[in-house]
């Protein structure tokens, strides 16, 4: 069964991507797509789609087009997100707009969005309609989450609930949708489709909080992105918001001013921010939030109409994900 060898699947997905655009023209459009898809990464979302299809007793191979769609869309969002953040690195390599230019990044990203939708055309009409409806809802929510993220950069009154809504839309809904797509392809019941979506959504929130934590405290050799990137960009992450909440008035003012500055020596800014995160208890609070959303994800598994062995598999997957360093 699929979940017995799921560690091999990221390599298989990567193999499908490798060379898929080699003969396509114009190369100026397709080479950046092949480049970003070939950079690797965890392939978390397509793995979840395939694993979910198998968990609900479907043929995971029939979920390949849905899995590829999720991964192509995810990478589309990364290409545009990197442009908006002016990020130099993605998975340890140059971002698309740095390797080519901004116009190329925009256009190749647009093409990826269209291609992601086209992959659903390989399914029969009922499944296509369900997948396309979920995809449309999810894609729009991801865009809404991205806009919230942009808005927060210039706001000084962002709340914890607002931040959690932003990461739910920007990151978590796609994780939930990836799992629900697998359930749709496997013709699982509507209740099981919705419950596995909630599992993925809560796990996605925990995943993004973990990403926020690693952005500040991760190892640059394994993280694959510029450590401290959120601090440099003055992003109002959970770490930052909790640090404000736990600080006294003078420290709150100092931290706020730090996140309004753009010094030439960004390393000093990063280290000062990390000191605030640790001394205020924000770093520990973020770890606790990661654990809480992971528990919420696991609690929803009881309603699924699957065996205890398969529930255990999902819990193991979630625990491994939350103990990652990349």
Please, what's the b/e burial string for 43-67 (b: 16 or more CB within 10 A of its CB; e: otherwise)?
A: bbbbbbbbbbbbbbebebebbbbbb
Q: Please tell me the predicted confidence (pLDDT) of residue 77.
A: 95
First to last CA, the chain: 27
- 239-277 tens-digit pLDDT: 999 999 999 999 999 999 999 888 888 999 999 999 999
Better-scored residue on pLDDT, 83 or 15: 83
Q: Please tell me the predicted confidence (pLDDT) of residue 2.
A: 47
Q: Please tell me the predicted confidence (pLDDT) of residue 221.
A: 67
- Pair 153, 134: CB distance under 8 Å: no
Q: Please tell me the predicted confidence (pLDDT) of residue 163.
A: 97
Q: Which residues pair with 243 in a beta bridge?
A: none
Long-range contacts of 135-139 (CB under 8 A, 24+ apart): 135/69, 135/73, 135/177, 135/181, 137/177, 138/173, 138/174, 138/176, 138/177, 139/73, 139/113
Residues in the chain, how many? 326
Range of the domain at 294: 2-322
Q: Please tell me the predicted confidence (pLDDT) of residue 286.
A: 97
- 83-121 tens-digit pLDDT: 998 888 888 899 999 999 999 999 999 999 999 999 999
Q: Please tell me the predicted confidence (pLDDT) of residue 234.
A: 86
Section 58-74 average pLDDT: 95
- 190-206 tens-digit pLDDT: 999 999 999 999 999 99
Q: Residue 162: pLDDT above 80? A: yes
Section 118-138 average pLDDT: 97
Give the CATH number, domain containing residue 88.
Answer: 1.10.600.10
Structure tokens at 44: 């978390």
- 175-190 tens-digit pLDDT: 999 999 999 999 999 9
Task: Give every CB contact of residue 45 below 8 A, 6+ residues apart in sequence.
Answer: 67, 70, 71, 74, 174, 175, 178
What 8-state DSSP symbol labels residue 128? H
Q: Residue 324: pLDDT above 90? A: no
Work out how many domains the chain is built from and give that number.
1
C-alpha 212/C-alpha 116 separation (Å) is 27
CA-based nearest residue to 290, from 217, 222, 226, 211: 211
Task: Give every CB contact of residue 196 below 8 A, 6+ residues apart in sequence.
Answer: 52, 56, 176, 179, 180, 182, 183, 188, 304
Better-scored residue on pLDDT, 2 or 136: 136
C-alpha 116/C-alpha 65 separation (Å) is 9
Q: Please tell me the predicted confidence (pLDDT) of residue 5.
A: 40
Q: Please tell me the predicted confidence (pLDDT) of residue 15.
A: 60
Q: Residue 215: pLDDT above 90? A: yes
Q: Which residues pair with 93 in a beta bridge?
A: 90
CA-based nearest residue to 185, from 134, 118, 111: 134
Could you give the residue ranges of the DSSP H alpha helices within 2-63?
9-17, 27-38, 44-55
Model confidence pTM above 0.85? yes
């Amino acid at each position: 069964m699929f979940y017995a060898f799921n560690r091999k699947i990221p390599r298989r997905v990567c193999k499908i991507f490798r060379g898929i655009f080699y003969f396509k023209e114009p190369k100026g459009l397709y080479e950046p797509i092949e480049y970003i898809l070939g950079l690797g990464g965890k392939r978390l979302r397509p793995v979840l789609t395939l694993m979910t299809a198998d968990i609900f007793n479907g043929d995971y191979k029939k979920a390949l087009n849905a899995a590829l769609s999720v991964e192509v869309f995810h990478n589309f969002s990364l290409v545009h997100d990197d442009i908006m953040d002016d990020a130099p690195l993605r998975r340890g390599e140059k971002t698309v707009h740095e390797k080519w230019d901004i116009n190329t990044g925009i256009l190749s990203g647009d093409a990826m969005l269209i291609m992601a939708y086209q992959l659903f055309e390989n399914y029969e009409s009922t499944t296509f309609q369900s997948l396309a409806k979920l995809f449309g809802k999810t894609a729009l929510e991801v865009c809404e989450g991205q806009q919230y993220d942009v808005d927060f950069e210039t706001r000084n009154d962002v709340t914890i609930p607002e931040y959690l809504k932003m990461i739910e839309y920007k990151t978590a809904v796609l994780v939930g949708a990836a799992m629900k797509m697998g359930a749709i392809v496997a013709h699982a019941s509507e209740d099981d489709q919705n419950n596995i979506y909630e599992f993925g959504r809560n796990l996605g929130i925990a995943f993004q909080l973990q990403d926020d934590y690693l952005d500040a405290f991760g190892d640059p050799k394994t993280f694959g992105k510029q450590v401290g990137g959120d601090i440099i960009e003055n992003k109002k992450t959970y770490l930052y918001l909790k640090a404000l909440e736990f600080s006294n008035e003078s420290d709150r003012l100092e931290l706020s001013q730090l996140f309004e500055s753009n010094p030439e020596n960004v390393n000093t800014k990063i280290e000062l921010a990390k000191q605030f995160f640790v001394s205020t208890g924000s770093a520990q609070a973020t770890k606790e939030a990661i654990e809480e959303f992971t528990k919420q994800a696991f609690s929803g598994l009881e309603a699924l109409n699957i065996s205890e062995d398969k529930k255990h598999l999902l819990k193991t997957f979630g625990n491994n994900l939350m103990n990652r360093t990349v």
